[in-house]
Amino acid sequence: MSVVRNVGVGVAITALLTVTAGCGKDEKSSSTSSSTSSSAASPSSSSSSSSSSAPSSGSAPLADYSNLLISAEDIGADTTLGPPQQNPGGVAGVAVTFSNNSKTHTITDLLVVFTDAAAAAEEAKNRPAALSKYVTGTPQPFEVGTNGVIVVGPSPDNTKAVTYVVFSEGKVVVDLEFDSAPNDNAPQDFVLDVAKKQDEAVKTRQTS
């Protein structure tokens, strides 16, 4: 696999930021919520405006969190890593998309950093409610991290097969979206292996 583009990042970013922004709506003004929603809706503009956007309630300070990502070698021997998208949508974290050479399989890896482990765990717990926009399936428990969930099924428009994994590790919420051709879901052992590697990377590299 090789990283050829970052288009898939926007899907996971929008899914996560929709819930993240909602968690802080009672603590922030309506104008702040509107600004956050606008950032999430346009991935291409998110990175350019991230330095001036206020983080959602509970999120950590904006910084370079790319050291928390798994490496290209963790995905496959022929994988390369493109430039990570820092603090997407003005929320503390990092995202990148892996893709094979034929662009038939992609993995979106999104990490969002919170101020403490309790906030991250609560975010992961609330995530399944937003996933129906991106995958049609029933959330099932996932054995990685805290409040891990996996959803396997077609996309709502039936144009691709989607496996979506969410869990928290310490102060970080991890979103992994595996996209492929219809009826060609990512092998479950592969999904579990990638998730465990990302979990371990976050566990050993995040600061206290």
Per-residue pLDDT tens over the stretch 97-126: 888 877 788 899 999 999 999 999 999 999
Q: Is residue 125 part of a domain?
A: yes
Q: Is residue 166 part of a domain?
A: yes
Q: Is residue 133 part of a domain?
A: yes
- Answer whether residue 149 shows pLDDT above 90: yes
Q: Is residue 159 part of a domain?
A: yes
Range of the domain at 124: 66-206
Q: Is residue 21 part of a domain?
A: no
- Answer whether residue 22 shows pLDDT above 60: no
φ, ψ for residue 167 (rounded to 5)? -160, 165
Q: Is residue 11 part of a domain?
A: no
Collect all residues with Cβ–Cβ distance below 8 Å to 85 and sequence separation of at least 6: 6, 9, 43, 46, 47, 94, 95, 96
Greater pLDDT, 144 or 80 = 144
Count of the separate structural domains present in the chain:
1
Which of 36-40, 62-66, 109-113, 129-133 is least confident?
Answer: 36-40
Collect all residues with Cβ–Cβ distance below 8 Å to 74 and sequence separation of at least 6: 194, 197, 198, 201
What is the Cα–Cα distance from 149 to 139, expressed in whole angstroms? 6
Q: Is residue 26 part of a domain?
A: no
Q: What percent of the chain has pLDDT over 70?
A: 70
Statement: the pTM of the whole predicted model exceeds 0.85: no
Q: Can you tell me which residue has the tokens 């929320």?
A: 91
pLDDT tens digits along 154-202? 999 999 999 999 999 999 999 999 999 999 999 999 999 999 999 999 9
What is the Cα–Cα distance from 45 to 104, expressed in whole angstroms? 26
Q: Is residue 58 part of a domain?
A: no
Indicate which CATH number applies to the domain containing 177.
3.40.1000.70
> What does pLDDT average to over the chain?
79
- Name the most confidently modeled range: 36-40, 57-61, 72-76, 156-160: 156-160
